Amino acid sequence: MPFAQIRPHIKPTLLLAYPVVLSQLGHILVSVCDSVMVGQTGKLPLAAVSLGVSVSTVVMIFGMGLSFAITPMVAAADGKRDIPTLGNLLTGGVWLSTVAGLVLAGVGFLVAPFLKYLDQPTEVVALAAPWVRVMFLSLFPLMIFQGFKQFAEGLGLTRQAMILSLMANVVNALLCYMLIFGNFGAPKMGMMGAAWATLVARILMAILMAAYVLRAQRLAPYRAAATHWLRPDGATIRRLVALGAPIGVQMMFEMGAFSFSAIMIGWLGATSLAAHQIAINVASVTYMAASGIAAAATIRVGNFRGHGDAQGARQAGFTAYLITFLFMTATALLLIVGRHLIPHFYNDDPEVVAQAATLLLIAALFQISDGLQVVGLGALRGLEDVKVPSVVALLAYWAIALPFGYWLSTRLHLGATGVWIGLLTGLSLVAVMLLWRFRQHSASLVTPATATIAR
Counted residue by residue, the chain has a size of: 455
> What is residue 256's predicted lDDT score, i.e. its pLDDT?
81
Name the band, by pLDDT with cuts 50, 70 and 90, for residue 447.
low
What are the C-alpha distances in Å from 15 to residues 33, 160, 185, 236, 312? Answer: 27, 14, 43, 30, 17
> Per-residue pLDDT for 39 more than 80?
no
> What is residue 27's predicted lDDT score, i.e. its pLDDT?
64
> What is residue 203's predicted lDDT score, i.e. its pLDDT?
95
Q: Please count the structural domains in the chain.
A: 1
Expressed as residue numbers, the domain containing 16 is 3-454
> Per-residue pLDDT for 21 more than 90?
no
Mean pLDDT score across all residues of the chain: 86
Q: pLDDT for 283-295, tens place per residue?
A: 877 887 788 888 8
Name the band, by pLDDT with cuts 50, 70 and 90, for residue 452.
very low
> What is residue 453's predicted lDDT score, i.e. its pLDDT?
37
Calculate helix-pair angle for 416-454, 310-338, nearest 10 degrees: 160
> What is residue 395's predicted lDDT score, i.e. its pLDDT?
85
Q: pLDDT for 129-145, tens place per residue?
A: 898 899 899 999 999 99
Name the band, by pLDDT with cuts 50, 70 and 90, for residue 200.
very high
> Per-residue pLDDT for 448 more than 60?
no
Share of the chain above pLDDT 90, in %: 32
> Per-residue pLDDT for 28 more than 70?
no
Share of the chain above pLDDT 70, in %: 96
> What is residue 372's predicted lDDT score, i.e. its pLDDT?
92
Name the band, by pLDDT with cuts 50, 70 and 90, for residue 450.
very low
* Phi and psi angles of residue 226, each rounded to the nearest 5 degrees, phi first: -90, 85
- Which amino acid is present at 136? F
